[in-house]
Each structure stands twice: as structure tokens, then as C-alpha cells.
Copies of this chain bind each other. A is one copy, B any other.
Amino acid sequence: MKKIVVDAYGGDYAPLEIVEGAILAIKKHKDIKILLCGKKEEIEKILNGRNERIEILEASQVITNDDVPTEAIRHKKDSSLVKAYDILKENEDVIGLVSAGSTGAVLAGAIMKIGRIKGISRPALAPILPTKKDNDVIIIDSGANVDCKPINLLHFALMGSAYYSIIYNCESPRVALLNNGAEEEKGNELAKEAHKLLKDAPINFIGNKEGRDFMSGDIDVMVADGFAGNALLKGSEGAVMAVMSVLKKSIKSHFFSMIGALFMKKTFKEIKARIDILSKHGGSPLLGCKKLVVKNHGSCKRNNILSSIEQTIILYDNKLNEKIEKAITLLNDPESV
């Protein structure tokens, strides 16, 4: 039976929403077991007897956003996250970890406790966003690595491509490099060098793309350093929210628009569902670690936790890490395959 360890004390709505998310997953998937790390007594109260295939592992401490990540992993040995990482590391049948805790701590824990896949220079976060078409786009890296070298971006591209191909069952995802222009010679020093590496990599590289193209539907995997990637990701999210907010305000201030909005319920529902894509896919995996780690947004609710657990199962069943290993081997020795 596959086991997944869940940090019950990470996120704004922990432990309630995390525990409820685990219960949803258990109900839906009969072949998994969930290990919840956190304060046993509180978790038991929430479970209230619904503990079939759920095991609680006592952890008295909590890592917060105020903690310095590496120090927290080193010193808060009895925290829910560190305990979860210990369990992930020590048990072969534990296939992955889900946490909605501090991004920095989840990242530090992954590197310090689990380690990188051989050949991968840096693990990276690859969240999903909707596009204006029906397909989705991922951005890698979205903030785990704010200072990057060209080789890091090459590895992001390989990992992002492998990940996208699994979750969308797509053989050859279109990989683009975030740049300030489409021309090959465009970009900062990092992008220029990365472009050269991506051109020769065993991926479907479609060249430089601008931030403007991110949600066009013409890109599957956008590769960027974590700083610019974070700006693009959060800028896009913020802009979508801004438009929705302006729309709402304007509707409220015109009588006829309010009438119109009533007729448009279906449209608004459709848009909301499209924007709320994270509920569907759960959090963002931290790609490139020896075991699966899925990081959820701090504000996530039970459905997001369910999705993250499901994503862990899908990535495990479809051998994500083996695919990444294969890609890196192929990169380093093209004749090996």
C-alpha cells in the first residue's frame, strides 16, 4: 500500500483543512495510507474517529514563515515538517510528502533531508496556470532559486518537460525560455547562455518567449530563473485578480450591469473555474528531489490538499523521477539511450 506523509501543521488553515483534505483522499483512494505529522491530540479531535488508513505521528513543534528555513530544519527537530521529511527519507513505502508550510523550509528540508536526483543541479518549483485557450502552462522555476546559472535553467527545462508530459499526457511539451524579446540574441547574460544550452537539449524547445505570451496557450513549459519566474507568475496572478476586481466594482456601480451580470452567471462560473485551476491540480511539485515533494499554497483548503495527494500518486505511478533521471542521462551522454 502506498503511503503519503502529510505535514498537518503547514498553511494558514492548518491543521483543520489539512486533516480534512487527508480524509477526502482516503475516501477517494482505497489503495493509499496517509501519515499525518503534528500534534496528535488536536489531530485526533478533528479526525473524530475517521481514522481508517490514517496514522498520526506526534510532532510538537511548528515551523512558521518567520523561521529561517535552514535553521528551522536543523533545529526544530520535533516540527511537523522535519518529522515528515524524516519519515519520507527512512521509509521506502512512503512515496511522497505534501506540505502547505513555508516554501523556504519545504525547499531546505528537501535538499537537506532528501537530496537531489543525481545530475540535477537545483530542485525547482513548477506551478500551473491557465491560459486563454483550453490548455494549461507551467512555469519553472517560480521562486525556489533566485540566483541561477545557465545549467540550472537547462535542468529546469528537462524536469518541466518530464512533469508536463505526465500530467497532461503529452509526448513533447513545447518548452520556451522567458526573455524580453523573441530574437535569439535577446536577453540578459543568463538568458543568452541558457538559450544556447536549451537549443541543443533533448526537449521540444520553441525558443525565447515574452511574458506577454505566457498565457497565450502556445507554450506548455516556461523556463525562467526563480526571480523573473516569480515576477511573471505573481504578476499574472495579480493582473487576473485586478481585472476581476475592476469588473466586480463596475458591475456594482451600474444598475444595468447588475442585471447583465445575472444573465452571465454561466460565464462567470466558467471563468472562476478556469482561474481556480490550483484546486484541480493541487500545489506545485518540487521537481528534482530523490522523492516526491508537493508544496501547497499557504492559503490552501481541503480540496487543494486532496489534489496534492492525488498529484503525488499520479507522479509516482507515472515514474516522474525515473523520467527525469533518464533525461539527464540522455543529456550528458546522448549515445546512452
Chain A: residues with CB nearer than 8 A to chain B? 130-132, 143, 146-147, 178, 180, 187-189, 191, 210-216, 224-247, 249-251, 254, 256-257, 259-267, 270-271, 274
Q: Is the CB of A266 within 8 A of B254?
A: yes
- Nearest-neighbour CB distance to chain B for A284, whole angstroms, equals 14
A234 to B226, CA, bound (A): 17
Residue contact B238 to A240, C-beta cutoff 8 Å: no
Contact partner of A260 among B130, B132, B224, B267, CB < 8 A?
A: B267
Which B residues are in CB contact (< 8 Å) with A230?
180, 210-211
Q: What B residues does A270 contact at CB under 8 A?
A: 246, 250
In the complex with contacts A188-B146, A261-B260, A238-B236 CB distance below 8 A: yes
Q: Which residues does chain B contribute within 8 Å of A245, judged by CB atoms?
A: 132
Q: A148's closest neighbor in chain B, by CB?
A: B188
- Max chain B CB contacts within 10 Å: which of A187, A213, A242, A247? A242
A226 to B234, CA, bound (A): 17
> In the complex, are the beta carbons of A215 and B231 less than 8 A apart?
no
Please tell me if the beta carbons of B215 and A239 are within 8 angstroms of each other in the complex.
Answer: yes
A-B contact pairs, 14 of them (CB 8 A): A211-B232, A212-B237, A212-B238, A215-B242, A224-B231, A228-B231, A235-B239, A236-B239, A251-B267, A254-B267, A256-B264, A259-B260, A259-B263, A263-B263
Known: A216-B238, A236-B238. 5 other contacts (CB 8 A): A211-B237, A211-B238, A212-B241, A239-B240, A254-B267
Contacts of A267 in B (CB 8 A): 247, 250-251, 254, 257, 260
In whole Å, how far is A91's beta carbon from the nearest beta carbon of chain B?
33
With A232-B231, A250-B270, A261-B260 as contacts: A143 and B214 at CB distance below 8 Å = no
Give the one of A146, A235, A245, A260 with max B CB within 10 A.
Answer: A235
Instruction: Kindly list chain B residues whose C-beta atoms are within 8 Å of the C-beta of A256.
Output: 263-266
Residues from chain B with Cβ under 8 Å of A146 in the complex: 180, 187-188, 191
B263 touching A257, Cβ below 8 Å:
yes
A284 to B265, CA, bound (A): 39
**Residues of B contacting A257 in the complex (Cβ-Cβ under 8 angstroms):** 263-264, 266-267
Most buried by B among A147, A236, A237, A240: A236
Q: Which of A211, A213, A249, A262 has the most CB of B within 10 A?
A: A211
Report the minimum CB–CB distance from A225 to chain B (whole Å).
8
User: Inside 8 A of A259's CB, which chain B residues have their CB?
Assistant: 260, 263
Which of B147, B246, B274 is within 8 Å of A271, CB to CB? B246
Pair A260/B271 contact, Cβ less than 8 Å:
no
Question: Are B178 and A231 closer than 8 Å at their CB atoms?
Answer: yes
Q: Judge whether A147 and B211 touch: CB under 8 Å.
A: no
Whether A214 pairs with B227 at a CB distance below 8 angstroms is no
CA separation between A260 and B251, bound complex, in Å? 11
CB distance from A257 to the nearest CB of B (A): 4
Q: Say yes or no: A234 contacts B211, CB within 8 Å.
A: yes
B187 touches A213 (CB 8 A): no
Closest B residue to A266 using CB positions: B254
Determine whether the beta carbon of B211 is less than 8 Å from that of A231.
yes
Closest to A275 in B: B243
